[in-house]
Amino acid sequence: MKQTLLSLLDAIHSANPELVFEVFFWDGVQTKFGEGEPHFRVRVKSDAALRRLLAAGSLGFADGYIGGDIEVEGDLGALLRLGVDPRFQARRMSWGARLQVLRHALLTRNTMRGARRNIHHHYDLGNDFYKLWLDKSMTYSCAYFETPEDSLEQAQAQKHDHVCRKLRLKPGETLVDIGCGWGGMLIHAAQHYGVRGVGCTLSDQQVAYAQERIRELGLDEQIEVRNQDYRKLKGTFDKFVSIGMFEHVGRRYIPGFMRKTQGLLKPGGVGLLHSIGIEHVKWTGGWVNKYIFPGGYLPRLSEIAGSLSSAGLVTHDVENLRLHYALTLEEWARRFEKHVEDVEAMFDEAFVRKWRLFLNGAAVGFRYGHLRLYQALFANGLEADIPLTRRYMYPEPSPLESSAEPLETA
């Protein structure tokens, strides 16, 4: 069993020779890969942990790491880069592990009751927990960096504004925000673009925070946040947005979500779907669904575009913000580490390990793996007022507009 793991690591290391690391086993056997100071050391503390790792892949590693049967010293992100290597991804899980994943998926389906339970599992951990490492607007989705040096607060405000410009929001328009979280997008749109809006979420903690924040800002006559399943929303709106919620819909519920989206948008209305997606590999959930996002499903771009089309929604623009999410997650991970003692006091050591693995693993997945972040702009029908070019999405003048010298024509 040890030789199986070492052979796999040797093959992966050959494709990543810049990574130097050591592996220690419970019986004293140890192996070093590469020359120089190790970026990390892995300690597999029992035969059972090794067997689970080989049988269940990333799920087995997560079980061992969270439970303390696998220890990592040094750069966890560097280790996780090995996990996105095609050689590791190509390993088939054992039948037992696959049955465990299937059973968990069946128990966490996003029915009306199941969706609320799934959202509660993740988002109702407490506002005090999320305040430790999110930005001041409590925005828990991919930021938008003009430069890698932008602060998280600046990048999240830029993300909200990027979305508002894509939607071409105007004063007095109505906006519906599905999965509005702590209300950051609605608040930005109301303050800077003068819209009237409704948002919904199934998180009790998010609703309480958002409603209080809206009252503090004097926006309660302009926007509201409801504790309501999107399937229960009624009415029609000029504009639609959903940021970081589509991942919670679940594969079997995607067609219904799109039909609901089409029903909420007025004819000619414009919407934006901001969602994590996956490329090249099929989403199985694995350890992320077990520990972090029960009921979650990451679609391929073809699934997003196809489901929009099937619902009568016309896709106009798709942008991939993959590296923006890598930067966002790396900053979240840094902030999380600054407050590890506070987090452990709120929960326990296993919780710290779980979230450390989640934040670092996701960052690696976006920077080196198959994770993508798509923003899809669409309209309800063909008569939408969408400009011919993308220039309206960006505030700076084009080089042609700013040039002092007239261009010569043929």
Question: pLDDT tens digit string along 231-281?
Answer: 999 999 999 999 999 999 999 999 999 999 999 999 999 999 999 999 987
Judged against a pLDDT cut of 70, whether residue 409 lies above it is answered with: no
The CATH architecture assigned to 112-385 reads 3-Layer(aba) Sandwich (3.40)
Phi, psi of 161 (to 5 degrees): -70, -35
**What is the reported pLDDT for 192?**
96
Phi-psi domain of 37 (left: phi exceeds 0; alpha: psi -120 through 50; beta: other): beta
What are the tens digits of pLDDT across the range 176-196?
999 999 999 999 999 999 999
Provide, rounded to the nearest whole percent, the portion of the chain with pLDDT above 70: 97
Rounded average pLDDT over 117-127: 96
Domain extents in the chain: 2-92, 112-385
Percent of the chain residues past pLDDT 90, beyond the cut: 84
Host H or E run for residue 270: strand 265-278
The pTM for the full model equals 0.93
Write down the pLDDT at residue 370.
Answer: 94
Is the pLDDT reported for residue 407 higher than 50? no
Pairing of strands 313-320, 371-380: antiparallel
- For strands 70-74 and 223-227, give the pairing: unpaired
Spelled out in words, what is the top-level CATH class assigned to the domain 2-92?
alpha beta
Q: Which two tokens stand for residue 332?
A: 């979240």
- The one-letter amino acid code at 131 reads K
pLDDT at residue 397 in the model? 61
Residues 56 and 64: their CA atoms lie apart, in Å, by 11
Reported as a pLDDT band with limits 50, 70 and 90, residue 406 is very low
Tell me: pLDDT of 403 over 50. Answer: no
Alpha helices in 279-398 (DSSP H): 286-291, 301-310, 322-338, 340-346, 349-368
- Please, what's the b/e burial string for 292-301 (b: 16 or more CB within 10 A of its CB; e: otherwise)? bbbbbbbbbb
Q: Which long-range contacts (CB under 8 A, 24 or more apart) does 252-257 make?
A: 252/109, 253/110, 254/299, 254/303, 254/307, 255/307, 255/310, 255/311, 256/231, 257/230, 257/307
Instruction: Read off the pLDDT of residues 197-216 as tens digits, 9 standing for 90 and up.
Output: 999 999 999 999 999 999 99
Residue 398 has pLDDT above 70, yes or no: no
Query: In the structure, what pLDDT confidence band is assigned to residue 16 with cuts at 50, 70 and 90?
Result: confident
pLDDT bracket for residue 410 (50, 70, 90)? very low
Which amino acid is it at 376?
Answer: A
Long-range contact set of residues 295-300: C-beta below 8 Å, sequence gap at least 24: 295/108, 295/109, 295/110, 295/114, 295/115, 295/118, 295/248, 295/250, 296/118, 296/247, 296/248, 296/250, 297/247, 297/249, 297/250, 297/251, 298/247, 298/371, 299/246, 299/251, 299/254, 299/275
Contact 65, 350 (CB under 8 A): no
Section 301-324 average pLDDT: 97
Classify residue 365 by burial, with Cβ atoms within 10 Å: 0-12, 13-18, 19+: buried
Note the pLDDT of residue 128: 97
Cβ neighbours around 234 below 10 Å, total: 8
44-101 residue pLDDT tens: 999 999 999 999 989 999 999 999 999 999 999 999 999 888 888 777 888 888 888 8
pLDDT at 138: 97
What does the block give as tokens for 292?
């972090």
Residue 56: closest CA among 20, 102, 106: 102
Largest CA distance in the chain: 78
At 220, the pLDDT band (50, 70, 90 cuts) reads: very high
C-alpha span between 319 and 328 (Å, rounded): 17
